[in-house]
Structure 1
Amino acid sequence: MFIPCVRPGIAHTARQLRHALQCRSFAEQSGGSESTRVALVQGASRGLGLEFVKQLLDKPDHRVVATCRNPDGAAELQELQGRSSGRLDIVQLDCTDEGSIAEAASQVSGSHRHLDLLLNVAGILHIPGKMSPETALSRVTADSLLTNFQINAMGPILVSKRFASLLAKASEGSSASRDRPAVIANLSARVGSISDNSLGGWYSYRASKTAQNQLSKCMAIEFARRKQNIAVVMLHPGTVDTDLSEPFQKNVKPEKLFAKERAVKQLLDIIEGVTMETNGSYLAWDGQSIPF
């Protein structure tokens, strides 16, 4: 791809120019076709998010928007884009910054007429040397609570808010119906279930996922009341072999520790079967309902 040179004093940055060329290329290739399914993966630079991008690109009728905080440092995403034949767009988005989310939504709206799937994948459980799941009340801190809530609960709802209009366009057009609605899929966790909590601990993480579930349920009810064909589901991927779970895998049975490839395939199979009848569902990797 040709990238124009940028001299000092020119208003647009190299990244803005690069994105403008990508948008024009996407628009020309898709022709705004309603038959093209468009998926956005929020938190796509590694782990499950990156694997979602890979498997969605394996679907010939799909175009993918991958967002992350630092696109220039996302080497694997950049490599995927180079092999995607123009079907992958990479957009900067920090889910803790509403201004960044709004800018990303504006950019995506310039290159796509609608969204069929929004996957909120970014999540946090620990930060090496700084934050870990609390095993006792005495270890709970304001910083841990705030960080978990910002990324695990506030991030998905704010991203959904900004991209709802693109999902609505799928609902208004021919690409979404009650049997195959546009979908917001938020990666939750079984530990977010209050009813299922028999072990305690992990205060901040549990509470942030519970909050995410409540916010997601509110969205699901609102879309249904508006008679929009947009379904919201909360998905528990199981314990997946990623950086997020690595320090906590010691007591996980081998058959219960999923490779990223398996986990993503299982979740995409569930998403493919979502209808407005299952709107607002909280589901495990095997399709079983989880009590709130």
Structure 2
Amino acid sequence: MAIPVALIQGASRGIGLQFCKTLLTGPKNNVVIATCRNPSSAQNLQILKDEHPKSLHIFPIDVTNESQIQQTASDISLQFKNLDLLINCAAILHPSGKGETSLRDVSSQGVLETLSINTVGPLLMAKYFSPLLLKGCGGFGKATENQQHKAVLVNMSAKVGSITDNGLGGWYSYRMAKAALNMATKNLSIELGRGKNKVICVSLHPGTVDTDLSKPYHKNVPKLFTPEYSVDCLLKVIESLEIDDSGKFFTYDRTQMQY
């Protein structure tokens, strides 16, 4: 079987960086493609590259720059003929670093920037990298006798992006961006589920993880996960996915969330 190839978008820190670490040391001998806005200043990612010079490949992608996404996808396709896994990790809570607590905190700039990074970016990644995903070798997920898939596409969402689960309000930009991302995932699951070559597309909630994004709210979190624990859980979910799971929204323990 071919060596699985995984692309982690937003790999310079937090969950994205941990996905790279875990995949590189896993039993599959994965090849990992890591992308981030400024690779030269991503110190921890460069250290990881030194440790895995043959298995880790780093490329620049700013998810707010469509032409760069397109160019990098073209560059990667010259070196790699397929992708088995794409995980979109880059996200911001809000440009200010804190979610809006009421309407008085809402601004056009804040909403648009949050949507651009959290929603539009992953959608554009799917647009330009889906040709490689459709050529995947099924290195991730669970194949059944009658239902095969080529690759898995994961959009890192959040529980607060569930409209059904929203009982507190606030966090307008982040909630809206993640709810819209969930809709994009559902759309992708339909389009990339047609025909002979299929891609499983899911949204995943990682739990509240000890990263820079969640740092302002750690005091109020009853269960704070390390990146290592969260990623281990998420990879177990990814490996369990079948075609029938495409389009769904799961938590780190594989509980299905309502959109």
- Counterparts of 1:59-70 in structure 2 under 5 Å? 59=26, 60-70=28-38
Following superposition, the deviation at residue 214 of structure 1 comes to 0.4
1:44 is matched with which residue? Answer: 11
In structure 1, runs of 5+ residues without a counterpart are 1-33
Q: Does structure 1 retain, via aligned residues, the 8 Å contact 2:138–2:151?
A: no
Separation (CA, whole Å) in 1 of partners of 2:172 and 2:220:
20
What's the TM-score once normalised by structure 2's chain length?
Answer: 0.94
2:112 corresponds to which of 146, 156, 181: 146
Paired letter, 1:205: Y
Separation (CA, whole Å) in 1 of partners of 2:23 and 2:138:
21
Following superposition, the deviation at residue 179 of structure 1 comes to 4.7
Q: Does structure 1 retain, via aligned residues, the 8 Å contact 2:5–2:85?
A: yes
Q: Which runs of 4+ in 1 moved over 2 A?
A: 173-181, 225-229
Q: Deviations over 1:240-279 (max 9, x none)?
A: 00000000111111xx100010001000110011111111
In structure 2, runs of 5+ residues without a counterpart are none
Change (3 A) 1:169 1:180: closer
Separation (CA, whole Å) in 1 of partners of 2:17 and 2:207:
17
Q: Does structure 2 retain, via aligned residues, the 8 Å contact 1:180–1:274?
A: no
Between 263-272 and 54-63, the greater mean CA deviation after superposition: 54-63
2:90 is matched with which residue? Answer: 122
What's the TM-score once normalised by structure 1's chain length?
Answer: 0.83
Following superposition, the deviation at residue 227 of structure 1 comes to 3.8
1:186 corresponds to which of 155, 170, 175: 155
Q: Does structure 2 retain, via aligned residues, the 8 Å contact 1:113–1:166?
A: yes
Following superposition, the deviation at residue 174 of structure 1 comes to 7.0
Separation (CA, whole Å) in 2 of partners of 1:167 and 1:209:
23
Following superposition, the deviation at residue 123 of structure 1 comes to 0.4
Is 2:127 aligned against 1:161? yes
1:238 is matched with which residue? Answer: 207
Q: Does structure 1 retain, via aligned residues, the 8 Å contact 2:101–2:170?
A: yes
2:103 corresponds to which of 137, 151, 154: 137
Q: Deviations over 1:136-176 (max 9, x none)?
A: 11211001100110000001000111000000111xx5758
2:245 is matched with which residue? Answer: 278
Separation (CA, whole Å) in 2 of partners of 1:180 and 1:267:
19
Separation (CA, whole Å) in 1 of partners of 2:132 and 2:194:
18
Tell me the secondary structure at the aligned position of residue 225 of structure 1: coil
Percent identity between matched residues is 45
Tell me the secondary structure at the aligned position of residue 19 of structure 2: helix
Is 2:40 aligned against 1:72? yes
Change (3 A) 1:212 1:92: same
Q: Does structure 1 retain, via aligned residues, the 8 Å contact 2:94–2:110?
A: no
Separation (CA, whole Å) in 2 of partners of 1:131 and 1:164:
31
RMSD: 1.5
1:252 is matched with which residue? Answer: 221
Q: Does structure 1 retain, via aligned residues, the 8 Å contact 2:149–2:200?
A: no
Following superposition, the deviation at residue 228 of structure 1 comes to 2.4
Following superposition, the deviation at residue 222 of structure 1 comes to 1.1
Separation (CA, whole Å) in 1 of partners of 2:81 and 2:139:
11
2:64 corresponds to which of 96, 108, 114: 96
- Number of aligned pairs? 253
1:24 is matched with which residue? Answer: none
2:183 corresponds to which of 214, 236, 245: 214
Following superposition, the deviation at residue 281 of structure 1 comes to 1.1
Between 177-186 and 257-266, the greater mean CA deviation after superposition: 177-186
Following superposition, the deviation at residue 131 of structure 1 comes to 4.9
Q: Does structure 2 retain, via aligned residues, the 8 Å contact 1:182–1:230?
A: yes
Q: Does structure 2 retain, via aligned residues, the 8 Å contact 1:181–1:276?
A: no
Q: Does structure 2 retain, via aligned residues, the 8 Å contact 1:181–1:275?
A: no
